[in-house]
Structure 1
Amino acid sequence: MNLTRTHAHAFDAFDHLATMVAVLRRDGRCVYVNAAFESVLGLPRRALQRGRVFDWFVDPATLKVTFDAVVANEFATARLEALLRRPPGAASTEPLPVHAIVTQIDHGEQVLLELVEIEQQTRQDRETRTLDQARITKELIRNLAHEIKNPLGGIRGAAQLLEMDLESKALREYTQVIIHEADRLQALVDRLLAPHRRPHMVSDVNIHEVLERVRALILAEFPKGLVVQRDYDTSLPEFRGDGEQLIQAVLNIVHNAAQALATRRQDDGDARIVLRTRAARQVTIERQRYRLALELHIEDNGPGVPPEIRDRIFFPLVSGRDGGSGLGLTLAQDFIQQHHGLIECESEPGCTLFKIQIPLP
């Protein structure tokens, strides 16, 4: 019997995990590694299965003590922090911080080693907080908007009736101010409620058609000093979604970027926005695992998001620009979440990156 083939068949399910998984003998030699291990280390399984697990770590002694304790049945499971070596020729030579989980399997005859990238765990925790905050904020804003909407109609109507009885033009100007401000607030409330009113129009969506539409709109509004670069993976499949919502979500982000690039557009003429599409594999979004996802990057070379609002940019009424409504990114996040996706932002002076992930079939 071919033991390697038998093991591979038994552990095939591990290839669907985002975390790195290895199955080891009691002496630390590798029986199996999953696809995530291959991807992170950039080495084929055969190469990884030729050595011992301890060779992969910067400080193997601590791992060996833990591993031996699990093998000796002192613990069924043990956890520790470790540094995973990068193979020669890797893009980065820096060791990879991981959280290691060592567990007995097969009645103690084998050991399961699971490695979770510290950065990945931090990102998932941040994503969970973002989604929870978005849900709470969305519900709060929706309820508040409904509470504001009813009195506004009464205020506007009363101002109109009062204006009919006033003979003084000066006094009618005051009623016009009341009516105008009531209309402005009504428009704001309508924008807050808009995502929940409009029906979801689902059809086959080509993300590059969405991006080309947005690109044309932006270049028409900002024709000078701005370059919108394409970096597309044209092999990406179509998916079911609401094309108009996706156009609006992407347009809100790109429009914000173009406005933030005002100085570069007008003074330097080197403002740049990059639209980049890629396929991401084994992605977790909102605690749900997806085999394949669209990853859309919107990157600009502007001044960056102000540090004081970086953690709140998706909250309603939070804006880093004078005169901004603070609703564009809130609506964008809402539209993407309706597609079971998520928007994240990384920003520093000279580079702001919005990353959109949407599951693909």
Structure 2
Amino acid sequence: MLHALPGAEGCVTAPGAPGPREQIAGLSFAVLLIDPDLTIVEANPASENMLGRSAPRLVSTALLEVFAFEDSRIAERIRDQLAPLVARDVAVRVGAAPRRVNLTLSPVPSHPGWRVLTLSEAPQDMVEPGNGTAQLSAPAVLAHEIKNPLAAIRGAGQLVARKLKPADRLLADLITGEVDRIASLIDRMQRIGARTSEPNAPFNLHEAVLSALAAVRGGDMAGVELVEAFDPSLPTVMGNRAGLEQIVINLVANARDAVEQQQGARVTVRTRYASGLSVNAAGPGRPVRLPIELTVSDNGPGIDADLRDHVFEPFVSSRAGGQGLGLALVRRLVRDMGGRVAHERDESAGLTHFRVHLPLAEGA
């Protein structure tokens, strides 16, 4: 829940206009209220999206435990309760993920020691200064250079397999199988780091979800109950249908892996209209409401406590042999649709929830 900042009760608001609380909730950049002990006291919805943590997990956390600044002078300035701060293109780590951000830190005059921190992504330009041509990123060049020899290795493995007796083809098949696995991994990494996204359009949420669940059921769901709890009255959503199907497949597959070793394993996919629950700005411009909620829940033991704040970062996995790219791809796809995704653990109910919030199609 977002409360008005200290001193906000003294603001003058025109009749019928949004108050300070609503204004802060609608901002497109992250806003954190910091107390004199450098503890996060409040967080707006954009901060949840940017930092990959829900507000309850941000609140009561020490600011410098969430952010690790490469420039020690930034942390020193933050510790100075009286000093305002404006910094651009700052290198920071949020968990294990490196980021570059613009930030401001503003004292609240009516409450000594209290400050408001704002954060926004520093733009990463594709064009070099003085050059009108878009440049390939270093990861894209590296992926290209890796996949070329992989194709040659795969072709050689197939040629060798043709000349071997069936009983001797195991190693050749192993070569081609591993090449395919590495190529697939590179493709997924490229999708996470891609600068462009697929176009968004109106689509029926449940048609996409049911298509994804049909694909999941075609795999290994033995011993796992898959429960559908849909609100059939939901209006059309705005997003990318293929991306939404991939999101559901990834979340349900992760949930299945979390429960497959226990009795009474259950994964629930739920949809509902959460009016007024989620507000986010999908980028510069007008704030966008996100009332369509898709939740994938499981009754497994949950993600290790040490990993819960990092589940959407690449290469973070609690599963032995996991690549840690599925949830990173989910976050990228959700962001491309102007939505947000969050992870919650309900210990009292023994449930893990992944909640995706999406915008309505225009006119829906």
TM-score (norm 1): 0.56
Question: CA RMSD of the aligned region, Å?
Answer: 4.4
Query: After superposition, what is the alpha-carbon deviation per residue over 1:289-347, rounded to whole angstroms, capped at 9, x for unaligned?
Result: 22453121111111111122212211222211122222111111111111111111112
Distance 1:149 1:176, change over 3 A: farther
Partner amino acid, structure 2, of 1:353: H
Question: Match for residue 275 of structure 1?
Answer: 270
Question: Match for residue 352 of structure 1?
Answer: 352
Question: Match for residue 144 of structure 2?
Answer: 149
Distance 1:190 1:128, change over 3 A: closer
Please state if 1:192 is matched with 2:192. Answer: no
Partner amino acid, structure 2, of 1:359: P
Q: Which moved more, 1:271-280 or 1:124-133?
A: 124-133
Structure 2: distance between partners of 1:130 and 1:121: 12
Structure 2: distance between partners of 1:106 and 1:311: 37
Structure 2: distance between partners of 1:160 and 1:217: 30
Please state if 1:129 is matched with 2:129. Answer: no
| Structure 1 unaligned regions, length at least 5 | 1-17, 22-78, 81-99
CA contact 2:212–2:249 (8 Å) conserved in 1: yes
Q: Which moved more, 1:125-134 or 1:255-264?
A: 125-134
CA contact 2:269–2:296 (8 Å) conserved in 1: yes
Partner amino acid, structure 1, of 2:188: R
Q: CA deviation at 1:185?
A: 3.0
Distance 1:207 1:156, change over 3 A: closer
Query: After superposition, what is the alpha-carbon deviation per residue over 1:108-161, rounded to whole angstroms, capped at 9, x for unaligned?
Result: xxxx97558987626543433339967949x8xx73353243155347758989
Decide which structure has greater helix share: 1
Please state if 1:284 is matched with 2:280. Answer: yes
Query: After superposition, what is the alpha-carbon deviation per residue over 1:203-247, rounded to whole angstroms, capped at 9, x for unaligned?
Result: 431111122223333334345432222332222211343211110
Q: CA deviation at 1:255?
A: 0.9
Structure 2: distance between partners of 1:212 and 1:330: 23
Query: After superposition, what is the alpha-carbon deviation per residue over 1:260-289, rounded to whole angstroms, capped at 9, x for unaligned?
Result: 11122xxx2342324232233261245762
Distance 1:186 1:359, change over 3 A: same
Q: Percentage identity across aligned positions?
A: 25
Distance 1:149 1:180, change over 3 A: farther
TM-score (norm 2): 0.55
CA contact 1:160–1:175 (8 Å) conserved in 2: no
Structure 2: distance between partners of 1:334 and 1:211: 18
Structure 1: distance between partners of 2:250 and 2:204: 19
Distance 1:143 1:352, change over 3 A: farther
Distance 1:253 1:160, change over 3 A: closer
Structure 2: distance between partners of 1:160 and 1:230: 44
| Structure 2 unaligned regions, length at least 5 | 26-32, 34-40, 54-91, 101-123, 125-136, 165-169
Partner amino acid, structure 1, of 2:43: Q
Distance 1:302 1:199, change over 3 A: same
SS in 2 for 1:256: helix
Distance 1:135 1:215, change over 3 A: farther
2:246 to 248, 260, 278: 248
Structure 2: distance between partners of 1:208 and 1:201: 19
Structure possessing the higher relative contact order (Cα contacts under 8 Å, 6 or more residues apart): 2
Query: After superposition, what is the alpha-carbon deviation per residue over 1:153-209, rounded to whole angstroms, capped at 9, x for unaligned?
Result: 347758989xx9xxxx9xxx9999887755543332122224649972654311111
1:313 to 280, 289, 311: 311
Question: Match for residue 103 of structure 1?
Answer: 10
Larger Rg computed on CA atoms: 1
